[in-house]
Amino acid sequence: MPPEARGRPRGALEREILACLAAAAVPLSPAEVRDELGDGLAYTTVMTTLSRLHAKGAVSRQPAGRGYAYALRGGPDEAQASMTAHRMLKLLDTGSNRAGVLSRFIADLSHQDEQLLNDLLADSARPGTDPP
Partner 1 sequence: MMLLGLIPLAASVLLALTSGILSRRLSPGVAVALLTLLALATSVATGIVLCLAAFSALARQPLVAAAGGWSRATWRSWDQLPVGWGVLAAAVAAGLLAGACVYLARATRELVRASRACRRLVVGHHKLVITRDERPTAYSVPAGTGAIVVSTGMLRLLSAGERRALLAHEAAHLRHHHASYLMLTQLAAAANPLLRPLARNVRLAVELWADQVAADEVGDRRIVARALARASLAATRDEPSPSVAMAIAETEVSARVRALVGRPRRLYPVAVAAALTLTLASSTTAVALTWATHRQIEIAQLAYMQAQVRAR
Q: Do the Cβ atoms of 33 and 21 come closer than 8 Å?
A: yes
Q: Coil, helix or strand for 69?
A: strand
Residue with smaller CB distance to partner 1, 12 or 64: 12
Judged by CB under 8 A, the residue of 22, 31, 42, 64 near partner 1 is 22
Q: Residue 88: which H helix or E strand, with range?
A: helix 76-93
**Site size for partner 1 (CB under 8 A):** 63
Residue with smaller CB distance to partner 1, 66 or 129: 129
Q: Rounded to whole angstroms, how far apart are CA atoms 33 and 24? A: 10
Q: How far is the CB of 95 from partner 1 (least distance, A)?
A: 11
Judged by CB under 8 A, the residue of 7, 40, 63, 65 near partner 1 is 7
Cα angle 72, 16, 76; round to 5:
25
The DSSP symbol for 76 reads H
- Is residue 128 within the footprint of partner 1 (CB under 8 A)? no
Q: Rounded to whole angstroms, how far apart are CA atoms 92 and 102? A: 7
Site residues for partner 1 per CB under 8 A:
7-12, 14-16, 18-20, 22-23, 36-39, 56, 58, 72, 74, 77-78, 80-82, 84-89, 91-92, 96-114, 116-118, 120-121, 124, 130-132
